[in-house]
Structure 1
């Protein structure tokens, strides 16, 4: 598994959040000026721009719908559906506290939110909105860092959405029972060398990678809560900021941020450094996100420098994988339709198959004409869809006009 750079997205402000859409059609970025920008993942073209009154602190996509959720520094979680249904907010009842993290369950029925000192779960309402239905108690264990602030740094749903793992800045990692709101197990903060800056759980729910804000990253086995691997990242006295990690397609491979402008890809089992992904800056990496869909894989990296832009990397097998994805769903069907049309033509116009009686010939032509017409419509539809995909890959798709939209004052 290796990656290559494909383009760099310009930015005029520090990017604090990145998120790929579930099918990798879009990449969303959120910055400290309050802008959310939507790019085409394949071409890097900017398609939509939305402006909020507060800095964007977190982003996540709904796993089933074309809806993006935006956490703001004011405590508001807004959401945009199909890039047009604007101004809607999750009814959390909290304002004035920063949204530190937001995360969806795999089904999309539960939205976890870390807002200020509280951790919420919001669920859909009858008017296609979202509202808080569960608020978890604060950690009982006292902080061993001397800092009593309660800050969630990662929220992860596991066990068919019956449990939720929350990592805290000063209070370790707690797995909560969602229905009873009681703790099931913990990874005590004493087991982690420093504060917790960020956490990420592998898609198979086997591992959790924790940034300990001291030596780098620690990977734990979730079932046994034992340390599997420590991944050392060079520290920087003046840049001791939270570092982000993401598990990749191979759930035994993780990418981690650093203070020197290079993201690192590790093999968890062996601890081997597999690849370094440099950015256009030597500053700390502010955010990393990774996306996988079928055989395609992408990584987006945002440095702390506002002028460095967001670098996007593609898994080397992605072009062949993307083509095979289309072939399996579009090209094969299209070829079958073309083949059927060819058979129709042979049956209708082959001399050996033409009846001597003109009345019989007319009946045959009429019958096959109806079949050919319906097949032709299907072929045209599939052909247009395939053509649109080819245009998108080649970067010749027509660019939509940028739209700057300000939400009403919150």
Structure 2
């Protein structure tokens, strides 16, 4: 299903770092290096909220339990929960909860079935449970990941992914992919990456694969069942501006969207890794993207980098491919195969029904009229005959000879 550009959103004055659709797709939030958090309504793509901060925005998460509530992470290490005010454009938002962690916030994620959140900051992952919109408890931190060699630098977290079986997958820049048990905080398994320097990652909807962008040559697929590399796909990388490339799976896992530093966003078939479509961005860096689908319409949001006041967010929507129709040559008539029934065109049944109802009323009336005319004609003939023979009978009775009439 191809995608076409439908809207261009402005408002940022520096690179877009993160894009997130709300759980029901009503809003799109964007965060940038300018410290701005912009919220757009997806019905009209009008900006409905603008939140100004002093630190670059590095993480956004829409709260699944509280409407119009966003958890925001910043390069300063601050994490803020903001409840948006509806209707007004330039509102600061109401800050419900805030805390500061050690190191820049890399990402904020939540468990799909519970109230456990993970905040990745610097080289650490802190887990915490939410009791109300403004209170948290049971803060605990994951241990340092195991090392593949003694020469590795300090851990640096790139991404976290919760799974439905109470595990959390953590991707580290140099320490590979580690699966932790949420109950014991112990390591269940780990995967040594094909290349060093993991960028961004995305977990498949069935939680069996992880797509990872590396800072070397492209995209790697890892199997959670076999705990090893599945396959790799080369992606154009600008080595002079080697930046992390965002990746995102489609809703059903059939496609994966990949950003890049070469000016294009690629849509790949997740099974064959074949490029299905390329979304051109005129050579600009794409370091932020997100995906949402509803009612058979999919939407992709992409944000550009390094353009200053010309920074924009582009919206792409899926369109149905036109199915070519074959028409018979003029004067020809297609003969249906034996035993088949010809399907009438749309609306013909209504016309046929109207004609049938009309005939059901007119035919009886015509029948009565014809019978009446026939009766009158027959009756008139009989009267004429009676008058004619009656005159002759009178004449015969007057003495004229003639045949006897019985």
Tell me the TM-score normalized by structure 1.
0.71
SS in 2 for 1:290: strand
- Report what 2:316 is aligned to: 313
| Cα separation, 2, equivalents of 1:127 and 1:102 | 16
Q: 1:87 aligns with which of 90, 95, 98?
A: 95
C-alpha change, 1:83 and 1:104, in structure 2 (3 Å) is farther
| Cα separation, 2, equivalents of 1:286 and 1:214 | 16
Give the superposition deviation at 1:243.
0.5
| 8 Å CA contact retained: 1:155, 1:166 | yes
C-alpha change, 1:69 and 1:294, in structure 2 (3 Å) is farther
**2:268 paired with 1:266:** yes
- Report what 1:206 is aligned to: 208
Give the superposition deviation at 1:175.
0.5
SS in 1 for 2:241: coil
| Cα separation, 2, equivalents of 1:143 and 1:88 | 43
| 8 Å CA contact retained: 1:22, 1:61 | yes
- Report what 1:277 is aligned to: 279
Give the superposition deviation at 1:154.
1.0
C-alpha change, 1:175 and 1:7, in structure 2 (3 Å) is same
Give the superposition deviation at 1:295.
3.0
Report Cα offsets for 1:174-212 as digits up to 9, x if no partner: 0000110001011113xx223101111012212210111
| 8 Å CA contact retained: 1:89, 1:130 | no
- Report what 2:399 is aligned to: none
C-alpha change, 1:186 and 1:294, in structure 2 (3 Å) is farther
Report Cα offsets for 1:371-390 as digits up to 9, x if no partner: xxxxxxxxxxxxxxxxxxxx
- Report what 1:70 is aligned to: 72
SS in 2 for 1:238: helix
- Consecutive unaligned residues of structure 1, counting only runs of 5 or more, are 319-410
**2:187 paired with 1:187:** no
- Report what 1:44 is aligned to: 45
Give the superposition deviation at 1:64.
3.4
SS in 2 for 1:266: strand
1:100-139 matched pairs, under 5 angstroms: 100-126=106-132, 128-131=134-137, 133-139=139-145
| Cα separation, 2, equivalents of 1:275 and 1:42 | 25
Task: Kindly tell me the number of residue pairs found equivalent between the two proteins.
Answer: 311
| 8 Å CA contact retained: 2:4, 2:316 | yes
Report Cα offsets for 1:146-190 as digits up to 9, x if no partner: 551321111111133x1000000110000000110001011113x
| 8 Å CA contact retained: 2:66, 2:133 | no
**2:161 paired with 1:156:** yes
Question: Cα RMSD (Å) of the superposition?
Answer: 2.1
| Cα separation, 1, equivalents of 2:206 and 2:271 | 15
C-alpha change, 1:308 and 1:75, in structure 2 (3 Å) is closer
1:244-263 matched pairs, under 5 angstroms: 244-263=246-265
Give the superposition deviation at 1:314.
1.2
Report Cα offsets for 1:321-372 as digits up to 9, x if no partner: xxxxxxxxxxxxxxxxxxxxxxxxxxxxxxxxxxxxxxxxxxxxxxxxxxxx
- Consecutive unaligned residues of structure 2, counting only runs of 5 or more, are 87-92, 322-406
- Report what 1:22 is aligned to: 23
| Cα separation, 2, equivalents of 1:169 and 1:256 | 19
Give the superposition deviation at 1:19.
0.4
| Cα separation, 2, equivalents of 1:294 and 1:250 | 13
**2:57 paired with 1:56:** yes
Report Cα offsets for 1:264-316 as digits up to 9, x if no partner: 0011211211000112x413211111123453321111121332411111122
Bigger-Rg structure (1/2) = 2
